[in-house]
């Protein structure tokens, strides 16, 4: 499966990130000032590091291979491996009140609500008292049936939610969330938001896969691996054809 993961990383870095481009830059630029300490939680390929000053930035990722490749691709920036956070025993490797901002881009929809609650507790701990979360997540939008289905077919995340459910998930750990914008890119509805910790009582929140995801998951898996198999096969046939053509000359 490693070859498929590498191909997905290559596609994300060279197709998805450029498509977001200016909209993500403008969004971050409205909230980030040089000198603010930023944790990029679930930094993936490290592509978003360029939105921040190298001295301000730490990218975190559970996948050590991505941490290594991001460090090679963006040597001026710092990237660290973090543990998978599934319980109250799992901790981020930073002291209390370490960051002015936590940037979470296209990450939470890969994580179930139970784990997110523990992650949000850690966010609260490592954020400064006046710190904020800045986030981007694909969101299900009422009436946008084609986009809602397309996102679930294309995306590896099992937990793409409506905006109100993302908000309720944050509220379950006493964060209040502000809607900023919904950007449409390549069939995706990307919700941009900010969130801050409050003294409000936490609320109960439970969530699983949406009905759309349950239906489209088999199609997603077929497309995820099938497209690369087809491309590799076509590449092989093309090379074989060229060898035969030039070999007969």
Q: Encode pLDDT of 11-37 as tens digits.
A: 555 555 566 667 888 899 999 999 999
pLDDT of 242 strictly over 80: no
pLDDT of 214 strictly over 60: yes
Mean model confidence pLDDT for the chain: 87
Confidence at residue 249, expressed as pLDDT on a 0 to 100 scale: 59
pLDDT of 180 strictly over 80: yes
Contact 226, 191 (CB under 8 A): no
Q: Band the pLDDT of 213: cuts 50, 70, 90.
A: confident
Q: How far apart are CA 134 and CA 142, in angstroms?
A: 23
Residue bearing tokens 């290559």: 10
What is the CATH classification number for the domain harbouring 78? 3.40.50.150
Q: How far apart are CA 231 and CA 241, in angstroms?
A: 15
Contact 194, 184 (CB under 8 A): no
Contact 177, 195 (CB under 8 A): yes
Q: 162-179: per-residue pLDDT in tens?
A: 999 999 999 999 999 999
pLDDT of 215 strictly over 90: no
Structural domain count, the chain: 1
| Among 180, 157, 158, 177, CA closest to 167 | 177
Parent domain of 64: 2-247
Confidence at residue 1, expressed as pLDDT on a 0 to 100 scale: 45
């Amino acid at each position: 499966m490693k070859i498929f993961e590498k191909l997905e990383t290559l596609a994300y870095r060279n197709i998805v990130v450029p498509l977001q481009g200016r909209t993500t830059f403008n969004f971050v630029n409205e909230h980030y000032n040089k000198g603010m300490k930023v944790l990029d939680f679930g930094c993936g390929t490290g592509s978003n590091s360029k939105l921040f000053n190298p001295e301000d930035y730490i990218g975190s990722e559970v996948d050590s291979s991505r941490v290594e490749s991001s460090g090679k691709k963006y040597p001026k920036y710092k990237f660290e491996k973090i543990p998978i956070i599934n319980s109250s025993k799992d901790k981020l490797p930073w002291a209390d009140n370490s960051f002015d901002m936590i940037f979470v881009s296209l990450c939470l929809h890969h994580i179930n609500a139970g784990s997110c609650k523990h992650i949000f507790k850690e966010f609260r701990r490592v954020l400064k008292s006046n710190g904020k979360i800045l986030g981007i997540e694909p969101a299900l939008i009422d009436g946008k049936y084609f986009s809602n289905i397309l996102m679930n077919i294309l995306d590896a995340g099992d937990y793409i939610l409506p905006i109100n459910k993302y908000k309720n998930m944050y509220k379950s750990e006493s964060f209040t969330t502000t809607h900023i914008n919904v950007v449409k890119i390549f069939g995706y509805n990307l919700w941009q938001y900010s969130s801050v910790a409050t003294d409000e009582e936490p609320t109960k929140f439970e969530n699983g896969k949406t009905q759309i995801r349950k239906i489209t998951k088999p199609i997603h898996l077929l497309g995820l691996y099938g497209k690369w198999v087809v491309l590799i096969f076509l590449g092989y046939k093309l090379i074989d054809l060229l060898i035969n053509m030039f070999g007969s000359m």
